[in-house]
Amino acid sequence: MNEAKASIDALVRDGLHYRFSSQYRDLVEFIKRFRQYSPFNGLLVHLQDPGAAFVATPAHWRSNYGRKISELARPIVILRPKGPVMVVFDVRHTEPDGSGGDLPLGVLDPMAAAATLPDYELHACWERLLDNAKRDGIRIRTKDEGHHSAGYARVSAGDLLVRPPSRPGDIATTHPLRFDIVVNANDPIADQLATLLHELGHIYCGHLGTRNPKHWESRLLETKETREFEAESVAYIAMSRFDPKIVMGRHISQIVTSMNEIPPIGLQVVLRTAGLLIEMATKRLPDRSDPPRAARRSRNGNQ
């Protein structure tokens, strides 16, 4: 798997794929449409079939939509959740099997089924990000920054973050503070969430170092241009998953339009980070494998 991911980055670095801004913009917009799969799987689909509109396994096509795979269909290999790989097929390589069933809503126009999230849903994404970030020692706060700054992330230390339990009766866990994120309180919630994803993108892409190389690598030596391009790519991909019609102030499409070639980036790092943030914003994730403070005190009899 590491070799495969390194090969993906080599495609970008060596100019074989996505070196030019138009190619990268097309990739990001393609991944944005494939909301049912992870960003990395969106990349794998695009590499194998840039014309794909909606992909699914043969069993899913048959049971959910009453369709079978055409004889000359082109298989597409993607990663299976908690497993090796699985084979999927695009809708244009399927045909009705006679059992009935309608195509997925918006399959020929993926954006047709997209709905802008209301503010309370964006607030819910914010709260889940705030909670999940604590497990990595990330403190998230809003502050009046006037109109000169959307927010920032920095290395920090000295405090403990308390993560409430997920169920009544469980023990809260504490995590040493490692990073601080401040988001401008004057911005609307959609802008605040986009800024938060951008700053989390910096942290999880390794631009501020790492608390544990097993969780994400340190990439302190990347140039500022690369760091900003990666963080905004992460924010755009993740934000588009929650609000497909989002228009961001630092819209990645606007950024790439102003350049001929994109800076050298870690594409698999961007997609992995975007996938992580999508998870963090949609469900509560367990504490990292290194034992949280409350668990250690309990085992030592010092609770």
Query: Shortest CA distance to 225 belongs to which of 199, 269, 264?
Result: 264
**Residue 261 in this model has a pLDDT that exceeds 60:** yes
In sequence order, the β-bridge partners of residue 197 are none
Residues 6+ apart with CB under 8 A from 119: 189, 190
Of 112, 144, 178, at which residue does a domain stop?
Answer: 112
pLDDT per residue as tens digits for the range 149-170: 788 999 999 899 999 998 888 8
User: How many Å apart are CA 77 and CA 44, to the nearest integer?
Assistant: 7
Span of 6-20, 163-177, 209-223, 246-260 with lowest mean pLDDT: 246-260
Query: Shortest CA distance to 12 belongs to which of 27, 2, 31?
Result: 27
- Is residue 145 located within the same domain as residue 282? yes
- Is residue 280 located within the same domain as residue 154? yes
What pLDDT shows up at residue 282?
Answer: 94
Which pair of tokens denotes residue 93?
A: 């390589």
- Is residue 81 located within the same domain as residue 183? no
Domain count, the chain: 2
Residue 12 lies in a domain: no
Residue 159 lies in a domain: yes
- Is residue 194 located within the same domain as residue 85? no
- Could you tell me the pLDDT band of residue 241, with boundaries at 50, 70 and 90? confident
What pLDDT shows up at residue 263?
Answer: 86
Determine the average pLDDT of the residues in 118-131. 93
Residue 297 lies in a domain: no
Determine the average pLDDT of the residues in 192-209. 95
Residue 216 lies in a domain: yes
Residue 292 lies in a domain: no
Contact 133, 280 (CB under 8 A): yes
Contact 208, 154 (CB under 8 A): yes
Q: Which domain holds residue 59?
A: 27-112
**Residue 250 in this model has a pLDDT that exceeds 60:** no
What pLDDT shows up at residue 161?
Answer: 95
- Is residue 195 located within the same domain as residue 86? no
- Is residue 105 located within the same domain as residue 125? no
Residues 6+ apart with CB under 8 A from 132: 280, 284, 285
pLDDT per residue as tens digits for the range 28-82: 888 888 888 899 899 889 989 988 989 999 999 999 899 999 988 999 999 887 7
Residue 170 φ/ψ, nearest 5 degrees: -75, 165
- Is residue 126 located within the same domain as residue 229? yes
- Is residue 52 located within the same domain as residue 152? no
Q: What is the mean pLDDT of the chain?
A: 83
- Is residue 92 located within the same domain as residue 133? no
What pLDDT shows up at residue 296?
Answer: 42
- Is residue 139 located within the same domain as residue 282? yes
pTM score, whole prediction:
0.81
Query: Shortest CA distance to 43 belongs to which of 70, 7, 95, 14?
Result: 7
Residue 261 lies in a domain: yes
- Is residue 127 located within the same domain as residue 237? yes
- Is residue 257 located within the same domain as residue 132? yes
Which pair of tokens denotes residue 150?
A: 């959307």
